[in-house]
């Protein structure tokens, strides 16, 4: 199921399916990549295909009795914390989000593999009982320059769903939630870029010109961010994405990692996720993946080519899910991923807020970090 290319967008994918696709895609990309996350190297695409198929078979043949047997990591923990807080409060409440991050972290197994500095920060704010300026500890990290890890982008999927249709609010909230843990302009701009990429995918029926998709995203980031200092590297990386998209020969993992990058830093991973989505729009680009649908092509490529496989997987999955819709995921993998029912519930809750327009959702996120 889900292996044929029959799930390519034909006409309009319903928005509810796209919301579910964004959240479920993020979770699934994290779960798929989790298997390879500690290898910190590229692996053969065929190996990930084998893992994908073996897992699906286990479910089909009822060998896997327990639902959710493929674990997710910190990426999804933090996505749930952020998204569920937005729904609970119908607004962005920074202290509540931070508390959710830190309490989930404190209760989690080491295998969730939180970023090193993020873990230190979460322990610290919890021990201080969330008192004082909640944005302050993140500012102090890395000798005052703040983290540029990809942690504030990997969790961002609920943001474009919360403010769907309003890129200014999406950008502001992506930035604000980033500053809870990642204040470095490269980290903040990475979160904004990823949020804008999901929003653009939600709004797009067909991509005729993948290079223009990247260019539009960069222009939007450039216009909306208040962190102009961290932009130059994104200009360079978007150019690298465009260059590799236009390559006549097959782009292999070493070139992808050299020119775009797929490690734990924001500027060397968000562009990679955008590349994986756009490069695989054409089923013929990666011959080994040609019989799989576009969503699977994007996420399998991300897990195989990327060093930070869970995180590039989750970010490519969120963008691809917003474009192709949740039907592009196989039922077997929905069964396999830990907390997939909760992911659907989260997406539906955000969708409902959009359609009813209740609460403070229409206010701009309030900055507490002056």
Angle ∠(126,94,34) on CA atoms, nearest 5 = 70
Only segment of 145-153, 195-203, 217-225, 248-256 that touches ligand R7I (CB under 6 A): 145-153
Binds ligand R7I by CB under 6 A, chosen from 64, 77, 79, 118: 118
| Residue 310 contacts ligand R7I per CB under 6 A | yes
Reduced to 3 states (helix: H, G, I; strand: E, B; else coil), residue 8 is: coil
| Residue 302 contacts ligand R7I per CB under 6 A | no
Angle ∠(69,47,28) on CA atoms, nearest 5 = 40
**Separation of alpha carbons 14 and 24, rounded Å:** 15
Binds ligand R7I by CB under 6 A, chosen from 2, 83, 137, 151: 151
Reduced to 3 states (helix: H, G, I; strand: E, B; else coil), residue 149 is: strand
Structure tokens at 288: 């080994």
Give the nearer residue to ligand R7I in terms of CB position, either 122 or 350. Answer: 122
Which positions from 183 through 222 interact with ligand R7I, judged by CB under 6 A? 184
**Separation of alpha carbons 208 and 183, rounded Å:** 35
Give the nearer residue to ligand R7I in terms of CB position, either 83 or 149. Answer: 149
For residue 277, which of 302, 242, 306 has the smallest C-alpha distance?
302
**Separation of alpha carbons 106 and 133, rounded Å:** 21
Only segment of 11-19, 40-48, 107-115, 334-342 that touches ligand R7I (CB under 6 A): 107-115
For residue 162, which of 350, 363, 356 has the smallest C-alpha distance?
350
Paired residues of 337 in beta bridges: 70
Only segment of 9-17, 189-197, 276-284, 308-316 that touches ligand R7I (CB under 6 A): 308-316
**Separation of alpha carbons 155 and 82, rounded Å:** 7
Binds ligand R7I by CB under 6 A, chosen from 42, 75, 199, 332: 75
For the CB of residue 118, give the shortest distance to ligand R7I in the complex, in Å: 3
| Residue 117 contacts ligand R7I per CB under 6 A | yes
Binding partner of 259, given ligand R7I, Mg ion, none, CB within 5-8 angstroms per partner class: none
Binds ligand R7I by CB under 6 A, chosen from 76, 150, 225, 293: 150
Q: At residue 124, what are phi and psi to the nearest 5 degrees?
A: -60, -50
Binds ligand R7I by CB under 6 A, chosen from 70, 86, 217, 264: 264
C-beta separation of 349 from 343 below 8 A: no
| Residue 227 contacts ligand R7I per CB under 6 A | no
**Separation of alpha carbons 83 and 365, rounded Å:** 14
For the CB of residue 76, give the shortest distance to Mg ion in the complex, in Å: 8
- The continuous run of DSSP H or E covering 13 comes out as none
Binding partner of 145, given Mg ion, ligand R7I, none, CB within 5-8 angstroms per partner class: ligand R7I
| Residue 116 contacts ligand R7I per CB under 6 A | yes
**Separation of alpha carbons 81 and 104, rounded Å:** 8
For residue 96, which of 123, 134, 136 has the smallest C-alpha distance?
134
Binding partner of 115, given ligand R7I, Mg ion, none, CB within 5-8 angstroms per partner class: ligand R7I
Binds ligand R7I by CB under 6 A, chosen from 137, 149, 167, 317: 149
Q: Name the residues that contact Mg ion, by CB under 5 A.
A: 73-75, 308, 310-311
Interface ranges with ligand R7I (CB under 6 A): 73-75, 113-118, 142, 145, 147-151, 154, 184, 264-265, 308, 310-311
């Amino acid at each position: 199921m889900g292996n044929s290319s029959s799930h390519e967008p034909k006409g309009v994918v319903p928005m509810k399916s796209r919301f579910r696709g964004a959240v479920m895609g993020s979770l699934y990309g994290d779960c798929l990549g989790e298997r390879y996350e500690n290898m910190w190297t590229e692996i053969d695409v065929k190996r990930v295909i084998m893992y994908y198929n073996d897992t699906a078979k286990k479910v089909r043949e009822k060998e896997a009795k327990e639902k959710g047997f493929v674990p997710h990591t910190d990426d999804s923990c933090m996505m749930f914390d952020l998204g569920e807080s937005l729904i609970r409060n119908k607004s962005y409440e920074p202290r509540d989000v931070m508390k959710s991050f830190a309490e989930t972290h404190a209760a989690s197994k080491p295998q969730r593999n939180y970023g090193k500095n993020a873990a230190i920060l979460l322990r610290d704010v919890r021990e201080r009982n969330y008192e004082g300026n909640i944005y302050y500890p993140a500012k102090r990290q890395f000798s005052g320059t703040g983290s540029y890890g990809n942690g504030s982008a990997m969790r961002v999927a609920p943001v474009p769903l919360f403010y769907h249709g309003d890129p200014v609010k999406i950008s502001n909230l992506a930035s604000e939630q980033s500053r809870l843990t990642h204040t470095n302009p490269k980290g903040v701009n990475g979160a904004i870029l990823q949020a804008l990429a999901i929003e653009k995918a939600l709004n797009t029926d067909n991509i005729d010109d993948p290079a223009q998709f990247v260019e539009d995203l960069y222009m939007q980031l450039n216009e909306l961010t208040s962190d102009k200092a961290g932009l130059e590297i994104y200009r360079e990386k978007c150019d690298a994405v465009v260059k590799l998209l236009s390559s006549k020969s097959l782009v292999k993992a070493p070139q992808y990692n050299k020119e775009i990058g797929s490690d734990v830093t924001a500027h060397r991973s968000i562009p990679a996720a955008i590349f994986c989505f756009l490069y695989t729009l054409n089923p013929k680009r990666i011959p080994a993946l040609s019989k799989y649908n576009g969503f699977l092509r994007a996420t399998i490529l991300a897990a195989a080519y990327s060093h930070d496989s869970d995180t590039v997987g989750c970010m490519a999955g969120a963008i691809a899910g917003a474009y192709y819709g949740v039907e592009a995921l196989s039922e077997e993998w929905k069964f396999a991923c830990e907390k997939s029912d909760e992911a659907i519930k989260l997406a539906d809750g955000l969708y409902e807020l959009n359609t009813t327009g209740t609460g403070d959702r229409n206010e701009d996120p309030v900055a507490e970090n002056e």
